[in-house]
């Protein structure tokens, strides 16, 4: 048997066991839009599984914008952005992103994954060094693999370890770039931008941030990590996605004009992949407008985050260092996570079971994404269910 088939069989064994046990809550059939509740396996559930923190993907103005663009442009635009895939809508959205971050320019990618991986692949190469937080998102790691850059990691959010890493790599010949998530996707804690700048700037290390879970969420006006810390020049390269605050699809990179002009011609996922459909671009642009015209959603989101963090802690759950809409409930046991998640889903609460290799062993957890559109009834009822299931499994 070939080695790849042996590996597949070994891994598939786990998936088949999961399916046979009835514990599989991955890829369940969803038959509604992504609101504060969702229809899952034919049943209405409170939605804690999505990253659509603002709930904009089902906002009437967003749907209307998509419909209008669909009527004008049709479904897709039939090519890569470098060919015919750059419509006036794509240009307008890129301008909006650059304005959000105060950069000279920006580029729209088909997905957030492509934006991260494609920016790193474009900017770094063999001989360079990427300094990564050890909980950085997979798209960053895959971008490094594509580029051939050497990876050096530091302990998650540990600034002493970063400082030592910067010292240890000082004699490397190539360029050094630090790349971190603004908000960590499984833990919900925030990158320490001020300390990162103190350590990296004097050492000549470029700073790149992944704004996936931060744009629309952090900062007084939802402009992201730089606004949160009031550090408009806190990063050189800013990438992110439209799949979280806008609940859509697509990604971006914002930076100096020179960097963006270069990426437009040398980032493989940008050049060799089809452009994001105009209807999505129009809808994402409207989501940006909603951040300004309907600021109440941002306020509601943070009230809900506060309510859930306090409620879960009062029940006795361990929510790690989360301070954002991404809330882990630490369980530290794979089977318990799977059993609890199945039970929660059966009782009408849908969240993510996160096990190895998504997180390190003994760091298994349930992951919640809080939404601005959750009502207090949704949240109180979910807390009751979490409490009931948590007690049954002796987690609290
Ligand atoms: C931190 C982070 N970066 C990048 C991505 C990739 O974004 P997308 O799913 O929009 O391709 C994700 C999505 O899971 C993420 O959590």
Q: What's the 112 CA to ligand 1 centre distance in angstroms?
A: 5
Ligand 1 pocket, residue 187 CB under 6 Å: no
Q: What's the 212 CA to ligand 1 centre distance in angstroms?
A: 6
Q: What's the 139 CA to ligand 1 centre distance in angstroms?
A: 7
Q: Which residue's CA is the nearest one to ligand 1's atom 9?
A: 112
- Express each pLDDT in 240-271 by its tens digit: 999 999 999 999 999 999 999 999 999 999 99
Confidence band of 2 (pLDDT split at 50, 70, 90)? low
Q: Residue 276's pLDDT is what? A: 97
Of 46, 104, 36, nearest to 262 (Cα)?
104
Ligand 1 pocket, residue 55 CB under 6 Å: no
Ligand 1 pocket, residue 112 CB under 6 Å: yes
- Express each pLDDT in 50-75 by its tens digit: 999 999 999 999 999 999 999 999 99
Of 143, 263, 277, nearest to 210 (Cα)?
143
- The pair of structure tokens assigned to 331 is 């369980």
Q: Residue 135's pLDDT is what? A: 96
Q: Residue 14's pLDDT is what? A: 73
Ligand 1 pocket, residue 325 CB under 6 Å: no
What is the average pLDDT across 113-132? 98
Whether the pLDDT of residue 1 is over 60: the answer is: no
Confidence band of 10 (pLDDT split at 50, 70, 90)? confident
Q: Which residues is 253 bridged to in the sheet?
A: 107, 239
Ligand 1 pocket, residue 136 CB under 6 Å: no
Q: Residue 4's pLDDT is what? A: 85
The CATH fold of domain 60-293? 3.40.640
- Express each pLDDT in 15-26 by its tens digit: 888 888 888 899
Ligand 1 pocket, residue 50 CB under 6 Å: no
Ligand 1 pocket, residue 241 CB under 6 Å: yes
Domain locations along the chain: 21-50+295-392, 60-293
The CATH fold of domain 21-50+295-392? 3.90.1150
Common-topology check for domains 21-50+295-392 and 60-293: no
What is the average pLDDT across 328-352? 96
What is the average pLDDT across 362-382? 98
Ligand 1 pocket, residue 215 CB under 6 Å: no
Q: What is the pTM of this model?
A: 0.97
Whether the pLDDT of residue 279 is over 80: the answer is: yes
Tell me the C-alpha distance between 375 and 277, whole Å: 32
Q: What's the 115 CA to ligand 1 centre distance in angstroms?
A: 9
Q: Contact at 8 Å (CB) between 67 and 282?
A: no
Q: Which residues is 130 bridged to in the sheet?
A: 151, 177
Q: Contact at 8 Å (CB) between 53 and 372?
A: yes
Q: Which residue's CA is the nearest one to ligand 1's atom 10?
A: 112
Ligand 1 pocket, residue 119 CB under 6 Å: no
Confidence band of 151 (pLDDT split at 50, 70, 90)? very high
Q: Contact at 8 Å (CB) between 90 and 108?
A: yes
CB atoms within 10 A of CB 307: 16
Q: What's the 171 CA to ligand 1 centre distance in angstroms?
A: 33
Tell me the C-alpha distance between 210 and 223, whole Å: 13
Of 211, 216, 210, 218, nearest to 59 (Cα)?
216
Whether the pLDDT of residue 13 is over 70: the answer is: yes
- Express each pLDDT in 72-107 by its tens digit: 999 999 999 999 999 999 999 999 999 999 999 999
Contacts 24+ apart (CB under 8 A), 271-275: 271/80, 271/82, 272/80, 273/80, 273/110, 273/114, 274/76, 274/77, 274/78, 274/79, 274/80, 274/85, 274/110, 275/76, 275/77, 275/79, 275/80, 275/81, 275/85, 275/86, 275/90, 275/110
- The pair of structure tokens assigned to 395 is 């987690």
Whether the pLDDT of residue 131 is over 60: the answer is: yes
């Amino acid at each position: 048997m070939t080695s790849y088939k042996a590996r597949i069989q070994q891994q598939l064994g786990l998936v088949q066991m999961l399916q046979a046990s009835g514990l599989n809550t991955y890829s369940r059939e969803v038959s509604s839009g992504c609101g504060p509740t969702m229809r899952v396996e034919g049943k209405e559930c409170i939605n804690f599984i999505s990253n659509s923190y603002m709930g904009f993907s089902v906002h009437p103005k967003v749907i209307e914008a998509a419909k209008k663009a669909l009527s004008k442009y049709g479904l897709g635009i039939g090519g890569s952005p470098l060919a015919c895939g750059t419509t006036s809508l794509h240009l307008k959205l890129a301008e909006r992103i650059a304005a959000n971050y105060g950069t000279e320019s920006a580029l729209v990618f088909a997905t957030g994954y492509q934006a991260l991986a494609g920016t790193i692949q474009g900017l770094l190469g063999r001989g360079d060094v990427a300094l990564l937080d050890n909980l950085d998102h997979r798209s960053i790691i895959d971008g490094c693999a594509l580029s051939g850059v050497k990876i050096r990691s530091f302990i998650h959010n540990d600034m002493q370890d970063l400082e030592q890493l910067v010292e240890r790599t000082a004699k490397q010949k190539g360029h050094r770039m630090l790349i971190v998530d603004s908000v960590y996707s499984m833990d919900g804690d925030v990158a320490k931008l001020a300390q990162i700048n103190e350590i990296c700037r004097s050492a000549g290390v470029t700073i790149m941030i992944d704004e996936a879970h931060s744009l629309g969420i952090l900062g007084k006006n939802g402009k992201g990590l730089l606004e949160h810390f009031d550090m408009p020049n806190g990063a050189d390269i800013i990438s992110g996605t439209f799949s979280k605050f806008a609940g859509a699809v697509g990604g971006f990179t914002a930076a100096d004009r020179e960097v963006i002009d270069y990426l437009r011609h040398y980032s493989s996922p940008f050049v060799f992949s089809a452009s994001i459909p105009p209807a999505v671009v129009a809808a994402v642009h409207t989501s940006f407008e909603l951040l300004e015209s309907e600021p109440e959603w941002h306020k509601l989101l943070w009230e809900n985050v506060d309510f859930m963090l306090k409620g879960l802690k009062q029940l006795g759950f361990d929510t790690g260092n989360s301070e954002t809409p991404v809330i882990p409930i630490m369980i530290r046991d794979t089977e318990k996570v799977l059993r609890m998640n199945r039970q929660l889903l059966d009782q009408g609460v849908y969240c993510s079971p996160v096990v190895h290799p998504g997180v390190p062993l003994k760091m298994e957890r349930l992951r919640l994404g809080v939404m601005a559109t959750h009502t207090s009834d949704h949240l109180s009822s979910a807390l009751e269910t979490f409490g009931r299931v948590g007690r049954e499994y002796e987690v609290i």
